[in-house]
Amino acid sequence: MKICVIPDIHGRTVWRDIITTDNYDKIVFLGDYLDTRDYISINNQCNNFREIVRYKKANKNQVILLLGNHDFHYTLYCRDSYSGYKAATDANVGRDVLEAIKDGSIEACYSYDKFLFSHAGISKEWLENNNCENFDNPEKIAIFVNNLLKYIPRVFNFTPGPNNSGYGDDTCQGPIWIRPDSLLKSSLEGITQVVGHTQDEKIIIHNNLILTDTLGYSKEFLVITDGVPEIRLIK
């Protein structure tokens, strides 16, 4: 199994180059398709998002689209708007984001073998707070989390915690908000989580956590081949 991981897009079209670099069994987008960090027009960002969704629908079993916080705040499920939110983006593509979640094109979590993929990561505390009973089985966790998005999407809202961190650095934060330090403090034993969300200059591989949000810096992306992670560079 060869899995290509594409972190936070933020309006960029570089994903088109990444998907042609090899023959991949699975291509996993980690969310944040919107709210550019570059000089990309709202119209181009929205068209890019729609193209990604069409790509998913044309390759339903190969392509996995996951939800990011910069996508979630354009849905009716989100009770607030957050950093990067643009009313014009909402008017242009908000309904499309919501529809992609409703029809299952966008999920919250994906699992393969010992790996668990989500936008920001899944803490044991968050699972406990939402009455999950499985902490050691990535597949069951993914099913549980995806069902929460389908039936109780409000639990994906930003959750103020004991640190009172507006940055999301609390162990109670959910899969589209939690930061790496808090995730490591409330990690899932025996599971390697692959996440974006927190921008770094280079991909960082811990024992049970891989941080991949590097497209804005090093242009690195992650490939996992038969369980072995490999860092590749966009040429």
- Summarize the confidence of residues 122-140 as an average pLDDT: 94
Q: Is the pLDDT of residue 82 over 90?
A: no
pLDDT in tens, 27-77: 999 999 999 989 999 999 999 999 999 999 999 999 999 999 999 999 999
Distances, alpha carbon 193 to alpha carbons 78, 89, 94, in Å: 25, 30, 28
Position 133 scores a pLDDT of 85
Tell me if residue 230 falls in helix, strand or coil: strand
Give the type of residue at 135.
Answer: F
Residue 197: which of 6, 60, 7, 17 has the closest Cα? 7
Q: How confident is the model at residue 117 (pLDDT cuts 50, 70, 90)?
A: very high
What's the Cα-to-Cα distance from 68 to each of 16, 30, 88, 131, 163, rounded to whole Å?
Answer: 19, 7, 19, 22, 22
Mean pLDDT for 124-147 is 94
Task: For 179-233, write each residue's pLDDT tens digit.
Answer: 999 999 999 999 999 999 999 999 999 889 999 999 989 889 999 999 999 999 9
Task: Note the pLDDT of residue 41.
Answer: 97
Residue, of 142 and 216, whose pLDDT is higher: 142
Q: Which helix (H) or strand (E) holds 90?
A: helix 87-102
pLDDT tens figures, 55-68: 999 999 999 999 99
Task: Give CA–CA dist 107/200, Å, rounded.
Answer: 24
Nearest to 68 by CA among 18, 115, 33: 33
